[in-house]
Structure 1
């Protein structure tokens, strides 16, 4: 049993494909001094990097420092599937669920954000393997078909160029026996290499005058003479304002982790497809693809025609963001099995890389902001897996909030509301284990599982098997 999957994972590197690259920039020096700055950014993933670039574009003379506990993009930003989406609030249905009265404005802002995202890539010549190929939502069951019908209505209502695909039309796009219906959003979406995008943003920020320190974690923060003193292992920073761009990495501010859980999302990457395999698979338009379930699978092609296949989320006790278990073949076997069932044309293909990454999950499944030190420090994050493009928007709004600049977006509900409280350990670990088991087995076994998922839904998490 699982012989082909075990064989496929025999020589796999258990590290992110994106980060296993000679393009990685040189490591910045560690902070060993006591310095001052106007704005300190903690974290150099997408949120921190977009903050750094945009603040210097707004005010080139502003003094900006970034400290990073490891190196740029080493966390969630160097690990995602990196399917670009204009959605700011984790998809159309989630936006409709949470913010229906403001949905027209949020969709307009999302499209604007995507256009400006593209403009940044082109303006600064960021080499990130971008392909503007669209995103494709697929249904794998009858519930998914109903979801696509509803989603299509929302896409059309709010001005997206999206077309429904019958099973036959879908098979012309991608050869999979599991896909029953599709919804192809053709504009303002596609795929990138996320690490190359992050490293490109870092290069731009440095050219604009931002100072970076790496291997420099934040240890504590206190108020000092109406400013903030942030201590690191070998130095310190006194800053007027601080933005915490730490997303799922919340050790230094425990209040964040009461509303955000570090869920693990797993990915496998195949060896490059041969011409014959690519022809058998179809996928001529190279869309990023994901299905409609909570425990969804998502997939895309890379520049060198590897298939990335993701899903199988999990949780480790006490928000562990670097579990040893995910550096072994075992947790990826079910994902490889699903890859082969989804694409029989490449069944048996070897897996070059397998990895997991932390998703900052909350019950709204959207970005939010948390305030510290009378507003001088602001946390921005919690994208629940949709942060590759939404982080740019979140960073822009974070700057307006921390600087108290009156822009219309600050009046929107998402900037003023927090996700629900999440129980502490061990209840969090127990609850997530039961929930993931229920999601995996509800359709086949029913019973208490459906009741449990209904209860979790009442608590604010929109779950469906």
Structure 2
């Protein structure tokens, strides 16, 4: 979509007049009651810190690997309240924030990474069925759409490149007519449909379902129990909480955007705030006007991109574009609401789907993403291998966090597996510099990305330098 077209004002803000500033997924009467907070002292074999996907998958898989293992999970607020309950619900097979990023960074491992990612998504689908996770799981795939002529050319060239490398299985190139047969927008010029590599889920229901599965397997879950400090204790580790503490043989940290209990890890991530809108349910006539019978997820090809999908009750989620980094990297509740971004997103929505004029938005919200400079997760251990961590999923963690859970458990077991042997697992991204350099560099990168979108995708000297250094900024 041309930036000029997207900036036009057409009273689109009226569509936001009734929008509640809360995540649609969490605004659910079926939201489970939280478990009690931890009081007193606990002991266990494995302590998992964090009640998002990363921690939940780690606790669940730990019990599945060894039903006799004593596992405790602590969550500072409620399970799924942060990124795991606020995202778009795109559960992707990719472990590398997309094939392009993976091919650029790990060309020698890319076939193995793609294989492991596909197996990981299959395992998620199997877990949904095995544990009866009621999360609206739909393996519909995703279409990357081009909205500018240069993007259409790039998509076609990219498709030729991945076909030549044997990486295009299940991916179909769509010209303008073919992509509009799938989803009808006057802005769509081409698309790449990954038919099996992405599933759509209700993200909050997935988190709540994983919590129920953990409890059923005997994991002790404590909510409203933030982990305040981590230190060695005898042969294991101790974590202090407000009303008590936990002594554990091993600890897995799934805190992602929140400050890591291993301080040296903190410089590898920064919080980036992403925002989304949810429409009211569409009528049959409105649905027919846009097609979308196959219910794929969609994302456009600009640097400042949008992602959009249908919910189970026929709403459209529309998010992305702005990626807001707060000076100093602070995570604060007030950043979750940003009306100026909502207004911008509403205008973009009606440019994409002018046939939906008059549709109103019921929810508008934001949340923080743990971004790292290579866009995909990194892993490591601390305290002589008794603590493992995974972080830096950069907005693509719905599926990849399950793989990260497997990696953390492998690392804690001291095992060399096909996962821990990967260069992706053994290496780290470049850390972000301290302020004011981080804010200045990120602001310059954002300006350069917007400029590239406005000038046919041409990357300026700053972006080309960042490319050579393997540095980036994304949500």
Q: TM-score under structure 1 normalisation?
A: 0.95
Answer yes or no: is 1:133 the counterpart of 2:140: yes
Counterpart-to-counterpart distance in 2, 1:450 and 1:202 = 46
For 1:92 and 1:210, locate their aligned partners in 2 and report how far apart those are by CA, in whole Å. Answer: 35
Partner in structure 1 of residue 384 of structure 2: 374
Pairwise CA distance, 1:4: 2.3
- Call closer, same or farther: CA 1:12–1:56 in 2, change over 3 Å: same
- Aligned match of 2:124: 117
Relative distance call for 1:254 and 1:429 in structure 2 (3 A) is farther
Query: Which residue, 396, 399, 407 being the options, matches 2:406?
Result: 396
Aligned to 1:356: 366
- Residue 178 of structure 1 is aligned with which of 180, 183, 187? 187
Checking the alignment, whether the CA contact within 8 Å between 1:23 and 1:196 is kept in structure 2 is no
CA–CA distance in structure 1, aligned partners of residues 75 and 35 of structure 2: 9
Q: Which runs of 5+ in 1 are unaligned?
A: none
Question: Bigger CA drift: 435-444 or 119-128?
Answer: 435-444
1:378 to 1:321, Cα distance in 2 relative to 1, 3 A: same
**Residue 454 of structure 1: how far off its partner (Å):** 2.4
Q: Indicate yes or no: 2:410 matched with 1:426.
A: no
Pairing partner for 1:162 from 145, 149, 171: 171
Q: In structure 2, what is the Cα distance between the partners aligned to 1:330 and 1:159? A: 39
Select 2:329's aligned residue among 319, 331, 334.
319
2:301 maps to what in 1? 292
Please, which of 232, 240, 255 is the counterpart of residue 264 of structure 2?
Answer: 255
Match of 2:51 among 44, 56, 60: 44
**Of 4, 11, 18, the match for 1:11:** 18
Q: Distance in 1 between matches of 2:388 and 2:199?
A: 31
Provide the rounded CA distance (Å) in 1 between the counterparts of 2:126 and 2:139. 13
SS at match of 2:447: helix
Alpha-carbon distance between aligned partners in 2 of 1:253 and 1:348, rounded to the nearest angstrom: 50
Change (3 A) 1:22 1:366: same
Is 2:426 the counterpart of 1:416? yes
- Aligned residue for 1:430, secondary structure, equals helix
User: Does the aligned pair in 2 maintain the 1:325–1:331 contact within 8 Å?
Assistant: no
The residue number in structure 2 matching 1:61 is 68
Q: Does 1:266 align with 2:272?
A: no
Alpha carbons 2:275, 2:342 under 8 Å: kept? yes
- Which residue of 73, 78, 90 corresponds with 1:83? 90
Q: Would the aligned equivalents of 2:379 and 2:388 in 1 still touch at CA under 8 Å? A: yes
Q: Distance in 2 between matches of 1:262 and 1:346?
A: 33
- TM-score, length basis structure 2: 0.93
After superposition, residues 206-285 of structure 1 pair within 5 angstroms as 206-250=215-259, 252-285=261-294
Return 248-257 or 44-53, whichever deviates more.
248-257
Q: How far off its partner does 1:142 sit?
A: 3.5
